[in-house]
Structures are given as C-alpha cells and as structure tokens.
Amino acid sequence: MENDSTQKNLRNTALDVKAIKNMLIIMIIPLVFYLLKLLAFIFIPLASALFLSILFTPFMRWMKKKKIPKIVSLFSVMLIIFSFFKLSSELVQLSSHEIMNSNTSELLIKMEDKLLGVVRPVEQFLGIGTAIEDDSIHNFLQGDDGNSSLLNYFGNTIQFLQKFITQLLMLFFFLILLLAGSLDLQSIMNSTVVKRRSTAIKTMLKIEKSIVKFIQVKFILSALTGIGFGLACVAFDVSFPIFWGLFAFAINFVQMVGSVISTLCLSIFSLAEIESTGTLALFCIIIASVQILFGGILEPIMMGKTFSINTVTVLIMLMLWGFVWGVPGLILSIPITVLVKIILEQNSRTKNIAKLMA
C-alpha cells in the first residue's frame, strides 16, 4: 500500500511538473514574439541571411568539393548577390524614367473621372453622399502655393534609405558569418532540437532542399508573372509596363495576398487607359489568368509534396509575421513556416502539430 501511495505521489508530481512546463511555454511564446517585434532591426536581416545562406549552401558545398578556397567561394557568392542588386537597380531606374517621362497628373485626373463614373451610380443606388470629391486627386497633386508638391509626401525618404542601407549591411554581415561557418546551424540544431547527429544532418538537408526549392520556384514563377503583366500592358497599350511587371514580380513573394493586390491595382489603373468596357474586361481576365496559371496551377505542381502546408496555416502565418515584422514578415512568413514545420516533425511530441500544418 505504501509503495502504491508513493508511486501515485510520483505520478502526481510528474503531472504537476508537466503542467508547469506547459504553462511556462504558453507564457514564454508571447514574450518571444514581443522580443522579435522589438528587435526587428536585428532579426529581420538575420532571418533573411539565414535563408540566403541555405540557398547558397549547395553552391558552397560544390566549391568545397572542387577544393576552391573558402574566401574565393564567399567572394563568388557576394558577387552573385551584388550582380542581382545591380540588375534590380537598373530595372528600377528604367521604370522610374518611364514614369517621369509621362504626364502623370493628367493620367491620374483621367483615372479619377473614370472612378467617379463607377462610384457615383453605386452611391446613388445606396442613397449615400459622394465619397470622392471632384478634385481630390488634383488637390493631392497641388500644394498650398498651387505648385506640384508630391515631394512633400516623401519627407521620410532619407530616413528610409538610411534604415534600408543599415539593414542591408547587417544582412551581408550575418550572411558572411553563416556561409563562413562561424554560425553552424547543424551544431546548434544538434544541441537543441535534435540530439542525434545523423538526424540533425538529415533535418538540415531536408530544410535545405525545401527552402531552396521554394525560393527557386517562387522566383521563377514571380518573374514569369511580372513578364506576363508587362506584356499584357504592352499589348493593351497600358502605361508603365516595366513598372507593373516589377511590381507584380516583387509583391508576388507575399504568398496569396500579393497576387490579389497586384491584379487589383493594375485593374483599377487600367480604367484610365482603356476606353472600351469589353477591352477592359478582357485585360482584367488576362492578368487574372496569368496569376491563376503561375500561382494557382504551376506553383502547386512544381512544389509537389515539398511545400505541403495548408491554406489556413499560410493565412495565420501571414497575419502573424506581418504583424510582427510588417512587409519583410509577409515575405519571410512562408520560409519560416517551412522551417518550423520540418523542425516540429523531428520530435514525437510535436509531430501532431506538424501534421495539422500539412
């Protein structure tokens, strides 16, 4: 009887300890996300550098097999990244020249007239007052002295550039540390998440394969989407095809939400450019079809089982990381989700959570 009583007490103690652990975990999770939000200026470049290092790990491994010095490999990676930024800056400049060389004021006023023609019948039907003033866009473009004052709306440009450059330098710093092996992810995982070395290696390879495939497929399909938008603008004589192509390419990295935003924005803008209602409807159908083809059909096929995360999880993660890190959080949310899901799969106690995410 005494032994039974002792065993019962031990079981109760174990249950109490487990309950305390669970309570501590529940209390710590909000604190972790608060710190991630508070120290976003550190964690955003760190997370970005982490996924970039995973992307370039196969290249670094190949260079190592060829017995090429690590410093040369690091220089090659930096050269590839700088070349990409250089190409991106050239495209942005080309798009800027395209916009600056056009009469944007006249175009915006024309678009306002079209929007008024759409909104007013709806307002009259609903019996509400006019929500859009006749000269709202005109007033937006004019300052108090009657001169164009769009620059007044970009007073924080220098501050934004300073912040962007700081984040970029931190990203390169963390990337060099990760690629040089100063921060060994496999060792960190082996000492924290997975205790067996072989399991840690397999987990890292699986993470690498999933992240690399996701980034490659997303980049290719986003580029094709941007090209499709640009060609559609050229075919229907819609202004700024380079800008709209770049916009569709960039925002398409925001899973699910980005495709809707780019299609909606271009559809609204095309109101001022396309006179015929039938032609406008055809243009909207074409750009929506481009998004459906690349984002709704080809992306799931190319991802296959590698990117097995359900829609509810994607939406929750988009809202969570968007709240914590803003736009960078929206872009990084899916790679982070893939990383978390693979790590959860390695532990028997958290495997059911990973199944819910699949």
Per residue in 89-116, pLDDT tens?
888 888 877 777 776 666 666 666 666 6
- Contact (Cβ atoms closer than 8 angstroms) between residue 191 and residue 97: no
Return the half-sphere exposure (C-beta side, CA atoms, 13 A cut-off) of residue 231: 8
> Does the pLDDT value for residue 207 go beyond 70?
yes
How would you class 31 by CB atoms within 10 Å of its CB: exposed for 0-12, middle for 13-18, buried for 19 or more?
exposed
What pTM, to 2 d.p., does this model score?
A: 0.77
Measured CA to CA in angstroms, residue 249 lies from 148, 226, 285, 294 at distances of 30, 5, 18, 12
**Which segment, 10-19, 145-154, 317-326, is predicted with the most confidence on average?**
317-326
CB atoms inside a 10 Å sphere around CB 294: 23
Using DSSP's 3-state secondary structure scheme, residue 144 falls into coil
Of 331, 338, 320, 342, the C-alpha closest to 36 is 320
| C-alpha–C-alpha distance, residues 162 and 287, integer Å | 36
Segment 270-295 shows an average pLDDT of 88
- Contact (Cβ atoms closer than 8 angstroms) between residue 242 and residue 94: yes
Of 221, 213, 175, 211, the C-alpha closest to 73 is 175
Using DSSP's 3-state secondary structure scheme, residue 142 falls into strand
How would you class 7 by CB atoms within 10 Å of its CB: exposed for 0-12, middle for 13-18, buried for 19 or more?
exposed
Residue 193 is encoded by which pair of tokens? Answer: 């998440």
- Contact (Cβ atoms closer than 8 angstroms) between residue 57 and residue 208: yes
Using DSSP's 3-state secondary structure scheme, residue 148 falls into strand
Residue 327 banded pLDDT, cuts 50, 70, 90: confident
| C-alpha–C-alpha distance, residues 91 and 97, integer Å | 10
Instruction: Tell me how far the alpha carbon of residue 175 is from its chain's centroid.
Output: 19
Segment 255-267 shows an average pLDDT of 86
**Which segment, 26-40, 143-157, 244-258, 277-291, is predicted with the most confidence on average?**
277-291
- Contact (Cβ atoms closer than 8 angstroms) between residue 50 and residue 207: no
Measured at the alpha carbon of residue 277, what is the angle toward residues 271 and 240, in degrees to the nearest 5? 35
Using DSSP's 3-state secondary structure scheme, residue 255 falls into coil
Cα distance from N-terminal residue to C-terminal residue, the chain: 48
